[in-house]
Amino acid sequence: MIGRLNHVAIVVPDLAVAASQYRGALGADVSDPQDLPDHGVTTIFVNLPNTKIELLHPFGEDSPIAGFLAKNPSGGMHHVCYEVDDIIAARDRLVTEGARVLGDGEPKTGAHGLPVLFLHPKDFSGTLIELEQAAS
């Protein structure tokens, strides 16, 4: 059911510093910051030949990752994102298998303009999973 790894997300305390490290020390192709108010994050993508790294920072007072950063002031890995061909069929199969979909269970538009869902980390060995509808 899951397809390719779309990205690994890392929460960072300072987006500019993190982007500079990836751009300078690692020589990576780094995107401009993008605010996603509906998700409560600002994101930057580090483009790699086989996947992406998503650098996340809280956006707004109600950011769902503010607590993560408070517990992990240096930042850290937050989630992995896998592509699926049909996000509704994937969601329905996962729910049938006993997985919990976070939020109201309906896909939201993610950073790439595609539908996304998040799965409860307790159902996947402590790892927060994001599913993203694969681009057609």
Q: Which two tokens stand for residue 75?
A: 């930042």
Q: Global pTM? A: 0.93
Dist. CA 104–CA 18, nearest whole Å = 32
What's the structural domain count of the chain? 1
DSSP code of residue 112? T
**C-beta separation of 2 from 84 below 8 A:** yes
Six token digits for residue 8: 């690994």
Between CA 34 and CA 136 the distance in angstroms is 23
Boundaries of domain holding 69: 2-133
Per-residue confidence in pLDDT tens, the chain, 136 aa: 899 999 999 999 999 999 999 999 999 999 999 999 989 999 999 999 999 999 999 998 889 999 999 999 999 999 999 999 999 999 999 999 999 999 999 999 999 999 999 999 999 999 999 999 999 8
Question: Is residue 97 annotated as part of the catalytic site, yes or no?
Answer: no
Which entry of 83, 97, 106, 130 is annotated as an active-site residue? 130
Compute the distance between CA of residue 108 and CA of residue 13 in angstroms, rounded to an integer.
25
List, in sequence order, every residue forming a beta bridge with 30; answer none if it has no partner.
46
Count other Cβ atoms within 10 Å, centred on residue 130. Answer: 20
Do residues 127 and 121 touch, judged by C-beta distance below 8 A? Answer: yes
CATH number (domain holding residue 96): 3.10.180.10
